[in-house]
Amino acid sequence: MRRLVGLVVAVAAAVGLGCPVAQAAPPTVEHVVVEGAGFDEFLSDACGFPVLFTEKGRATFLFFEDAGTGPAQLRTANLVTTVSANGNKVVLTQAGAELTSVTPEGVAILTISGKLGPFLATGIIKINLDTGEVILAKLHPTNDDVVRVCAMLAR
C-alpha cells in the first residue's frame, strides 16, 4: 500500500513538474485622483439658475499587456459630486467600470457597467468596437433625477 501511495505521489509530482503553467504578466496599474470645482453648465441650463459643483474621487486603470484574448483594459471610477445653489447642496455619486476585452475570434468588446454619469442611466451595455454594434443594453434611464435635483437646489 505504501508503495502504491509513493508511486502515485511520484507520478503526480513528475506530471506536475513536467507541465509548465502559463503565467500572464501582471497588469500595469495607474491610479488617478479626480478633483475639480466650478460652474456646472449642464445643471445651470436645466435648472434655470447658476449651479456650482465640487467633485472628488478616484479612477483606476489596468492595462493587460500582450493579453491576447481576455481582458485588455479595465477602467474603474468612483466619484462624488456635490452641487450647490441657493444655499442648498445635493450629493451625487457615480461608480462604474469599463472593460475592454478580446474574444477568441479577435473581436474587441467594450462592456460598461454601473452608474453612467449622474443623470444618464444605470445598468450595463456591451459594444462591439470593431463594428459599433450594441450587443447588449440593459439600461435604466435616470433623466428624471435632473428635475429632482433642480427642485432640491431651488428650495
Q: What is the pLDDT of residues 33-54, one digit of tens each?
A: 999 999 999 999 999 999 999 9
Q: What is the pLDDT of residue 19?
A: 43
Q: What are phi and psi of 142, to 5 degrees?
A: -125, 25
pLDDT confidence bin for 23, thresholds 50/70/90:
low
Q: What is the pLDDT of residue 67?
A: 66
| Beta strands, E only, 1-155 | 28-39, 52-63, 70-85, 88-102, 108-116, 121-128, 134-141
| Boundaries of every domain in the chain | 26-154
d(CA 22, CA 132): 33
pLDDT confidence bin for 116, thresholds 50/70/90:
confident
Where are the alpha helices (H) located in the chain, listed in sequence order? 2-18, 41-47, 144-154
Per-residue pLDDT, averaged over 93-119, amounts to: 90
Which residues lie across from 52 on neighbouring strands? 39, 84
